[in-house]
Structure 1
């Protein structure tokens, strides 16, 4: 046992005799007390930070490498941007910013985080447990409430049925009584007519006998004594029979509600109770739980490049991880795979925007006819939405809604429609009445329900709104001034499964990657990668970036996440 313990002792890396008691963080050496003195006298660029060996596994004593420059360690923090930085980060991006110690920023944010953590463990945890109990109780109560309503409906229906049976019985009895009365009246008239017929037959027989076989004196005397016998004949009255009838009562919706009763739906209303500071924390925690473990590559890898039959390309929308729809100058939409093979050619007028719906069908906008069309999987084209202003870019949201860019200047707006074409929301001005856009052309939705709009013309920036349409931030690429040459011209905008926002810059030949909160993260592609005149961009189901170059009419696919 003693031998085993002796073998586990970490020896000094210098003398190799005495047990190591100290650890140098920058050098990674284990030292005994005697060698520690000599080690401190050695000169290294980064200096020495000697700690006790038992403390070396503490997170604050470990070296953390930069996410953007993996070969460089985080050595300080930018006070302006509130992020850790390596020496290369400082030189490239933060040279004019205030630089401080990582530990200072850590202590500040640790205190804030511990306060938030305490609140989450205490108030939020107890409240959410109670909330779940209330929800389950509410579910039970709503179920019981609907059961009571249905029982009342059944009882009311049975009462109406019983009432209708009584009404029917009375109506049938009235009809039978009237039938007996009418029949008696007709029978009396029939008997009178039969008696008249009998008397008529007797008179006919008498007149025939007097004129054909009797003595002439008999006729003379009969007529003498019965001078008005013929004139006294009077036919019974005719009968004008009016048939019975039944007028069907009109039963419409309003009468039905009045007679049967009216059903009022239950409601489940969200009552805002958490303060504004809490919501971002909870959204952030939720996003962390769902975010896949992917990292941005230091250099994007080209997967494929395709020269198309179009003269120019404007739009691309991925259908899956292997194919995408593209459109450009002139009519028609092509479906191509990564190798450039044309899988389908959809006949259309000139296209000003296109997107793929959740069911795989295609939607596209027609700027000139002011219509959104839908093309089913069987290639059946239908007119989905007729629009007041000329539509441009559009996208399908995770819920299945459609966001459409339209109009310019004081008519510029983004409108949300349902999948059936019903208008739901209009985003046009902020809370102060200030216009949000000047010329919106591309739009997409992020995983946190934010709406990202590429605004052209005088703006040339990406405007990011929350789900209710209030502005969160704008981005025009100036934070990365070294990568912007000449006039800023934003084009396509898209998001990926991590919530990153990717923006194409047309004349700057670059794709910027920013966070969902507007922080610059990386240059995915630059002019050095051989890209030119970027227009539309899209991300497939594997988070590969598809882009179209306008003038070259090329489609290129890149991997930018590991």
Structure 2
């Protein structure tokens, strides 16, 4: 409730609630009518009430009514109870030893937060929606133009088909006319021969009748029969009648031959906003838990790759072998067994990964090859000639992403389907190189098909089509996540850090990994932690479990994080639970 009501916001008396206020107690900040001034002055409290004429100002605060004491207004605020309180509440002792502030100060804090919210709405959120609106309107225009072009293409193709059909019809008619003329001419010749034969037969019959009608013995004795010649009958070559046999067709097949409408896979237009990170952040644990620690005995441990949920490959910077460990036996550290060891060519292997069929893949920059290990036998999968492979990962569709460097050209990431390269990611929209020659170029594919590549002081995230989505350059804070927050501090907070004070050294990303929530996890060897950002590049928190130098990362199907903690003598692999 408020002390103002009515269409014109008339200020009412804070005691009787009916009469218009003409006076004001400067001690209690209560508005009073003249009839209630005396009662207020005689109220049972020890306060020295100073009543004067009401000064109506736009900035005059309107105090809330006290719920337990309805005849009182709340001039104070209890920080512990997160409630506005009146003087009687204070006198009752309920809020004894609680931190109490003047409510007018709380109002100032609230207005400050509201101003911050307005500033965010005006300067950050509104431009995002305006940008999205602009993109959608542009898409509508593109659809109109594309559909118009498609309509023209359909008409043009239809005209082409009509022309082709007309050509076929004309050709068939010409051929039919030729056949008709040839067949008819053949028949005309045979008809002419038959007519001539009939004439000869008729002449012979007339000659024979003349002999029969005469008594000339000489003609009768000299008669020679011609019936043998005519008895054979007429010889006629049958002529095939030309016909047109139309082929039967299915309408679907005919339409398929003509062509069909198709659409390019639609791209989800997202608004990369820190507001969206709050919901994603709820999936993260307040305090992470180390489930397993695997001592590998590998100096300068760098690369790890999971083989299912029970085994993990590990390789060090100066190690000539890659080792396969059983994860579940880590509880018995002394009985750890190396299941397999595959020799590498010297100290020049940079990245390892595992195919969907469980085969190990590793990069060998000494010979510029990407190799696969099947049944403990090494086979060269891809030879890169002048390019040196640095990192490798297998995508959800079974493709292979390989990062590689060159002595003269900027580094690049190439997508392979089998041994055929399908896509190259090397430059941004302005033609500038995305990566530097000394970038570590660790790779990971996110659940949304984005490709994440770690570089020097940055992580570049591109869409599966190769367009840059964002570049993450690190975020540090000395806030303590476990520090209690005042009631007014329980506001939207998009970025916070897991417990700990960070030295804020230069961001030095190494391994990258992604989980089922599309989080992107980045090992930061300088600051001895793992960054967690959302799919739009907004920082969520750090993971700091006392790691010495986190390097390689991988995440299993149950969203457990595995961190290769690189150490000079013997690196270890930490299995960490960080999601609820």
The residue aligned with 1:505 is 524
Structure 2 residue 269 is matched with structure 1 residue 279: yes
Shift of 1:385: 0.7
2:359, 2:367 → 1: CA distance? 21
Q: How does 1:401-550 map onto structure 2 within 5 Å?
A: 401-407=399-405, 410-438=408-436, 439-441=438-440, 442-455=442-455, 459-480=456-477, 483-525=502-544, 529-550=545-566
Structure 2 vs 1, CA of residues 304 and 384 (structure 1 numbering), >3 Å: closer, same or farther? Answer: same
2:376, 2:280 → 1: CA distance? 35
| Matched-pair contact (CA < 8 Å) for 1:535–1:550 | yes
| Matched-pair contact (CA < 8 Å) for 1:536–1:547 | yes
2:574 to 547, 556, 562: 556
2:111, 2:408 → 1: CA distance? 43
Structure 2 vs 1, CA of residues 301 and 429 (structure 1 numbering), >3 Å: closer, same or farther? Answer: same
Instruction: Show CA shifts across 1:72-95 (max 9, x none).
Output: xxx9899xxxxx9xxxxxxxxxxx
1:483, 1:368 → 2: CA distance? 38
The residue aligned with 2:284 is 296
Comparing both structures, which one devotes a greater share of its residues to helix?
1
| Matched-pair contact (CA < 8 Å) for 1:503–1:513 | yes
Instruction: Show CA shifts across 1:383-408 (max 9, x none).
Output: 21111311111111111111111115
| Matched-pair contact (CA < 8 Å) for 1:465–1:473 | yes
The residue aligned with 1:335 is 324
The residue aligned with 1:146 is none
| Matched-pair contact (CA < 8 Å) for 1:314–1:549 | yes
| Matched-pair contact (CA < 8 Å) for 2:532–2:542 | yes
| Matched-pair contact (CA < 8 Å) for 1:463–1:471 | yes
Q: How does 1:193-212 map onto structure 2 within 5 Å?
A: none
Q: Which runs of 5+ in 1 are unaligned?
A: 1-30, 51-74, 79-83, 85-98, 125-262
2:111, 2:67 → 1: CA distance? 33
Normalised to the residue count of structure 2, the TM-score between the two structures is: 0.50
1:77, 1:386 → 2: CA distance? 64
Report the secondary structure of 2:74's partner residue. helix
Instruction: Show CA shifts across 1:477-513 (max 9, x none).
Output: 2454873544432211111111111111112211111
The residue aligned with 1:152 is none
Structure 2 residue 307 is matched with structure 1 residue 319: yes
Q: Which runs of 5+ in 2 are unaligned?
A: 1-64, 85-108, 140-255, 331-335, 479-500
| Matched-pair contact (CA < 8 Å) for 1:413–1:426 | no
Shift of 1:425: 1.0
| Matched-pair contact (CA < 8 Å) for 1:408–1:440 | no
The residue aligned with 2:78 is 44
Shift of 1:100: 3.8
Report the secondary structure of 2:397's partner residue. coil
The residue aligned with 2:388 is 390
Instruction: Show CA shifts across 1:314-352 (max 9, x none).
Output: 101122333211111222221213334335213231431
Structure 2 vs 1, CA of residues 522 and 34 (structure 1 numbering), >3 Å: closer, same or farther? Answer: closer
Q: How does 1:364-379 map onto structure 2 within 5 Å?
A: 364-376=362-374, 378-379=375-376
Pairs aligned (count)? 347
Q: How does 1:183-222 map onto structure 2 within 5 Å?
A: none
Normalised to the residue count of structure 1, the TM-score between the two structures is: 0.52
The residue aligned with 2:340 is 345
The residue aligned with 1:13 is none
Report the secondary structure of 1:556's partner residue. strand
Report the secondary structure of 1:538's partner residue. strand
Structure 2 vs 1, CA of residues 372 and 267 (structure 1 numbering), >3 Å: closer, same or farther? Answer: farther
The residue aligned with 2:226 is none
2:266, 2:547 → 1: CA distance? 49
Shift of 1:411: 2.5
Report the secondary structure of 1:35's partner residue. coil
1:315, 1:118 → 2: CA distance? 44
2:257, 2:111 → 1: CA distance? 60
| Matched-pair contact (CA < 8 Å) for 2:470–2:537 | yes
1:308 to 289, 296, 299: 296
1:464, 1:516 → 2: CA distance? 9
1:519, 1:437 → 2: CA distance? 21
